Structures are given as structure tokens and as C-alpha cells.
Amino acid sequence: MSKELYFTPSRASGPNSNSRTEPFVKVIAVIATLGGLLFGYDTGVISGALLFMGKELHLTPFTTGLVTSSLLFGAAFGALISGHFAAAAGRKKIIIILAVIFAVGALGTSLAPDVHWMIFFRLVLGVAVGGAAATVPVYIAEIAPANKRGQLVTLQELMIVSGQMLAYISNAGFNAAWGGDETWRWMLAVATIPAVALWFGMMFMPDTPRWYAMKGRLAEARKVLERTRAPEDVEWELTEIEETLSEDENKSKPRLKELKKPWLFKLFLIGIGVAVIQQLSGVNTIMYYAPTMLKSVGMSTNTALFATIANGAISVLMTFVGIWLLGRLGRRTMTMLGQFGCTACLLFIGGVSYFMPEMVHGQVDTLRSYMVLLGMLMFLSFQQGALSPVTWLLLSEIFPTRLRGIFMGGAVFSMWIANFLISLAFPILLASVGLAGAFFIFAFIGLFGAVFVVKCVPETRNRSLEQIEHYLHDWLSSDRGTRPLPASKRKVESH
């Protein structure tokens, strides 16, 4: 590998990189990641609502999967569309539009008179979920200082799992307070509140300095940097942004036809791989169907709903751990830790479901159901503590500035299509091969994901977005293909 592949220290990793992050950056991150909260709530709330809407909407295993997964199908196209429009209209404007779609979708699902309208409004809601998944991490990554980018981007993941936990608490709370067949409508309607908050908050936020610079609006880019950087960092970062944009050979609008360049095509495939392996672990079958799975191994409805809150709580707790680890471990190391750990836990859940008896002395074996719950909690510890946070961070970092919106949209589109197919198939899979068979299949797929991680995931820690772009261009243009340099041969400064 040629020496040009080695990162050299720059002002991004110099003494100013540890200067105080302006409070305004944190305000921007909190407001923008309300999109993540909505993402989490709208994907998590269905887990409890399914237990109550089935009778009124006449759900079968197939339509149950369709109601759940229709949001994910909409999310795939929402990610793709928002990725294209984010480059033209700006990250901020797209997030404002998504907030309106969130509100319309939430109200529509809560008022749906039959399964057809439910599926339609779940598709609408999915457009907003996918758009937020593709746009919010990019928005934060481009507006945050390099040394704080990891923590602030993964705030999106924290808000997603917090939204899911709120959904589980809401499900159990509505059931305990009112119960009845109409409970699910209130569960779904609650999501309109953070949607309005997101719309209102983003009206007062700026767009990113990189987007302003890409549009030739350098004065506005400078103003945003002055509000989000230490004074001594503003000038060099603006210069670095300008230099990177000026190096692009093609000054026309970013288009997917640029994938004809071999290094960009390889990078796009890596991005798709990083996005998809997170879903192929089966994480969202646990997030969407946990009460259903726990009922299938012997828990009552009330116990299953309250037990699912533990999934949400451990997800939030381990996301804090993941944010802490991102400041201490490399992206590549965390991806391997998460992938290997998740695969081992899938084998544990499958083994418990297969080998432990369903009945003991004529009664349901409650130990079996709690061991399955334990397996879920261990799985979520690796997923939310390592794999999920680093996935969103890598996707926000590895794509070139001009193509970031389009490439991010394409990668997240692939993620949601994988999520859609798994979530649609899971109820049918559960009915045909049982819980053990389903999780053994996920574990088998996880082994292939582990091979991909080892061979293809790059290290991007402690680099400015411009440095990452130059590094990946050199790396993927080399004869070594897509195999990362060994850690011993890669210059990585300490955090």
C-alpha cells in the first residue's frame, strides 16, 4: 500500500480539536434528533398495538407482517427520495417536511377504519421514518466539530432507542389504565406531539456549512461555523471545505451515474453492506415482535408488555455505553464487537427455544420464557451498545460531501428493504419453523456478516470528513481492493 494512504495529522486533529463545543451545536443536535425519537416511537409502538388491533382489523399472520413491514417499505423510499432532495433543497428543509409527514402519518394510523387504510398510513409514516434515518445523521455530522461528531451523531441512535422505550412504556401504560380494543388508537396518536415539536424547532435552525458551501453561499457557511466552532477553528475548516469541493472533477449536480468511477462504486457497496448487516441480525424482529415472541413461549399479554419495557431500557442504557465507547474504540473494532456478540446471542436464543422444554409437570415452563428474554437483553446489549451506534456514524462519515445525500439515501434504502423483508416474513417464519428455527437462520446469516466486517469495514475515527474522503479515495483506488489496512500499518492518532 502506498504511503499516500496513511493519514497525516492536520489541524482537525491538532490542539484546537479539543476546544469547547459551542452550546448551539448541542441545541441543534437535540432538536434534529427529535426525528430519531419519532423514528423509534413509530417503529416500536406497533409491537404492543398488534396485540389489540388484530380483532378489529381482522389480522392474519400475513396481514400482521404487512401492517408492521409496510412502514419499512415506505421508509426505504423515504430514505432514497430524501437523499436526492437533501442535496438540492438542503438538509434543514427536508427535516421540516418530514416533520409534517410524521404528523399526518401518526394521525392517519390512529384513525384507520380498516387494514387497508392502516397499511396506507403506515406507508406514509414510513416515508418520514426513512427520510429521518437518512437525513438527520448527515445533518448532524456536517454541522458538528470533528472531535465531537461521534458523540453527536450517535445521539440520533440514543433518541431512536429512547423513542422505542417510550413506545413500550406507552403501550403498557395505556393497557394498564384503559385496556380494551380501542387502546391501540391512543398508542399510535401520541406520536403527533414530537412531530409538531420537530417542525417548530427546525424552523429556527440553520442548514449545514458544507451544504451552504456546496451551493456557493460561503458567507452563510462562515456564519454557521462561527456559531458552532471555536473562533480559531473557523478559518481553516472553511478553507478545507472549499478545497475539497474544488477538487471535485465534476461540478454538475451530483448523480448516481458517478458510480461508474470504480472507487465510488466500491464505497457505495461498502455503505450498503454496513447498513444491511445491522438489519440482517434480526434486531427489529425483537423490537417489533417481542411481545408476540414472549407470548409464544408462555408469557401472558400483560407480562409480555411489561417485559418488553426491559428491552427498551437496556437499549437506552447500552446506547449510552456505545456513545462512551465511540470515544475510546475505533469504528472498525466496535463493528466487529457488535457483529460477533449479536451472532452469539442469536445462537443462545435459538438454543434455549429448541432445547428447553415447553411444559414441566403439565405447566408452561416460565423459566424458558425468561431465558428467551435474557437472550434478547444480551443481544440488545451488543446491538445498541456497539453495532447500531457505529453503523449510523460510519454511514454519515464515509461518503464524499457532494454525494453524501444520494449515497446515504441509497444505503439506508437498502437497510429498510432488508428490514421490510425480514419483518414481513417473520410472523410467517414463526408460524412455520418456530422461534428456534427463526433465530438459527438469523445466526447463520450473521456469520456472513462477520466475514464482511472483517474484510471491508474501514477505520474513520478522529478524522475530518475531508480527510476521510481523501483516505477512502486512495484506499479504494489501490490494487488491494476493499481490504482495510491492518491496524499495525495504519496511522491512527489517539483520541
Look at the domain 3-205+248-489 and name its fold: Growth Hormone; Chain: A; (1.20.1250)
Cα separation, 397 vs 141, whole angstroms: 7
Q: For the ranges 36-45, 63-72, 152-161, 369-378, which has the lowest average pLDDT?
A: 152-161
Q: What percent of the chain has pLDDT over 90?
A: 14
pLDDT band with cut points at 50, 70 and 90 for residue 486 = very low
Mean pLDDT of the chain: 80
The predicted structure's pLDDT at residue 358: 67
Cα separation, 459 vs 474, whole angstroms: 14
Q: Is 360 helix (H, G, I), strand (E, B) or coil?
A: strand
Structure pTM? Answer: 0.69
Q: Count the neighbouring beta carbons within 10 Å of the beta carbon of residue 363.
A: 8
Mean pLDDT of 428-454: 88
Here the cell at position 421 is: 423483508
The predicted structure's pLDDT at residue 98: 92
Residue 186 one-letter amino acid? W
Q: Is 474 left (phi over 0), alpha (psi -120 to 50) or beta?
A: alpha
pLDDT of 344 over the 80 cut:
yes
Residue 404: which residues within 8 A CB-CB, separation 6 or more?
87, 138, 142, 396
Cα separation, 388 vs 381, whole angstroms: 10
More confident residue, 305 or 482: 305
Here the cell at position 73 is: 417499505
**Beta pairing partners, 363:** 360
Q: Count the neighbouring beta carbons within 10 Å of the beta carbon of residue 261.
A: 16
The predicted structure's pLDDT at residue 398: 85
The predicted structure's pLDDT at residue 248: 60
The predicted structure's pLDDT at residue 483: 54
User: Quick check: 62 and 413 in contact, CB under 8 A?
Assistant: no
Mean pLDDT of 407-412: 80
Residue 278 one-letter amino acid? Q
User: Quick check: 381 and 397 in contact, CB under 8 A?
Assistant: no
More confident residue, 16 or 43: 43
Cα separation, 121 vs 315, whole angstroms: 27
Mean pLDDT of 75-104: 85
The predicted structure's pLDDT at residue 365: 67
User: 30 vs 23, 27, 230, CA distance in Å?
Assistant: 11, 5, 20
pLDDT band with cut points at 50, 70 and 90 for residue 17 = very low
Name the most confidently modeled range: 172-176, 303-307, 441-445. Answer: 441-445
Residue 383: which residues within 8 A CB-CB, separation 6 or more?
278, 281, 283, 315, 318, 338, 342
Cα separation, 111 vs 476, whole angstroms: 50
The predicted structure's pLDDT at residue 100: 94
Number of helices followed by number of strands (H, E) in the chain: 21, 2
Residue of 48, 49, 29 lying closest to 37 (CA atoms): 29
Cα separation, 44 vs 161, whole angstroms: 9
The predicted structure's pLDDT at residue 148: 75
The predicted structure's pLDDT at residue 487: 43
pLDDT band with cut points at 50, 70 and 90 for residue 13 = very low
The predicted structure's pLDDT at residue 104: 94
Helix 46-57 × helix 155-177 angle, to 10° = 40
pLDDT tens for 45-88 read 888 888 788 778 888 888 888 888 888 888 888 877 887 787 77
Domain ranges of the chain: 3-205+248-489
User: Quick check: 364 and 192 in contact, CB under 8 A?
Assistant: no
pLDDT of 292 over the 50 cut:
yes
Cα separation, 254 vs 65, whole angstroms: 37
The predicted structure's pLDDT at residue 342: 92
Phi (first) and psi of residue 477, to 5 degrees: -90, -5
Cα separation, 416 vs 76, whole angstroms: 5
355's enclosing H/E stretch is helix 331-355
Name the most confidently modeled range: 10-24, 125-139, 336-350. Answer: 336-350
Cα separation, 375 vs 369, whole angstroms: 10
Show the DSSP H helices in 203-261 as ranges.
209-214, 218-228, 231-246
What secondary structure letter does DSSP report for 385? Answer: I
User: Quick check: 121 and 112 in contact, CB under 8 A?
Assistant: yes
Residue with cell 481553516: 236
pLDDT tens for 216-255 read 888 888 888 888 777 777 787 788 777 777 766 455 565 6
Phi (first) and psi of residue 10, to 5 degrees: -135, -175
Here the cell at position 264 is: 465510488
